[in-house]
């Protein structure tokens, strides 16, 4: 089980890093493109109300390592999937997490 505890934060950091590479490759000249923000849609996530949740720790580490801020949007699994479907090719999410929290941990 110890390996599993280490794998999850690495998986989230990997997904955020992949989104970062993708965003960097897309380029752009607008101020928004220079802002360096990764948007994460998550289903019933692990962000704490007091800043002490699992996502809080992972996002903080990611921001320190990359200098890129994480914008977090939370809702139910169906809500996040439907939002992504409605946004179609103009999705605002760079990362979509739809796994229940007990699986994410």
Residue 97, pLDDT > 80, answer yes
Burial 31-61 (b: 16+ CB within 10 A, else e): eeeeeeebbbbbbbbbbeeeeeebbbebbee
Q: What is the domain count for the chain?
A: 1
pLDDT at 78: 83
pLDDT at 47: 76
Summarize pLDDT for 26-70 with one digit per residue, the tens: 444 444 556 799 999 988 667 778 777 888 888 999 999 999 999
**Residue 52: which CATH number?**
3.40.190.10
41 within 8 A of 80, measured Cβ to Cβ? yes
Domain of 16, in residue numbers: 2-104
Q: Strands, E, within 1-94: which ranges?
A: 37-43, 69-75
pLDDT at 12: 62
Neighbours of 96 (CB within 10 A): 17
Summarize pLDDT for 8-18 with one digit per residue, the tens: 555 565 565 55
Indicate whether this model's pTM tops 0.85: no
Question: Taking Cα atoms as reference points, which of 74, 75, 53, 71 lies closest to residue 9?
Answer: 53
């Amino acid at each position: 089980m110890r390996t599993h505890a280490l794998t999850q934060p690495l998986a989230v950091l990997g997904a955020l890093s992949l989104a970062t590479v993708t965003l960097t490759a897309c380029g752009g000249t607008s101020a928004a493109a220079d802002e360096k923000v990764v948007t994460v849609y998550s289903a019933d996530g692990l962000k704490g109300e007091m800043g002490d949740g699992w996502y809080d720790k992972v996002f903080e580490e990611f921001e320190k390592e990359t200098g890129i801020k994480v914008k977090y949007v939370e809702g139910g699994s169906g809500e996040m999937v439907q939002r992504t479907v409605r946004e179609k090719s103009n999705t605002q999410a760079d990362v979509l997490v739809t796994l229940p929290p007990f699986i994410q941990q």
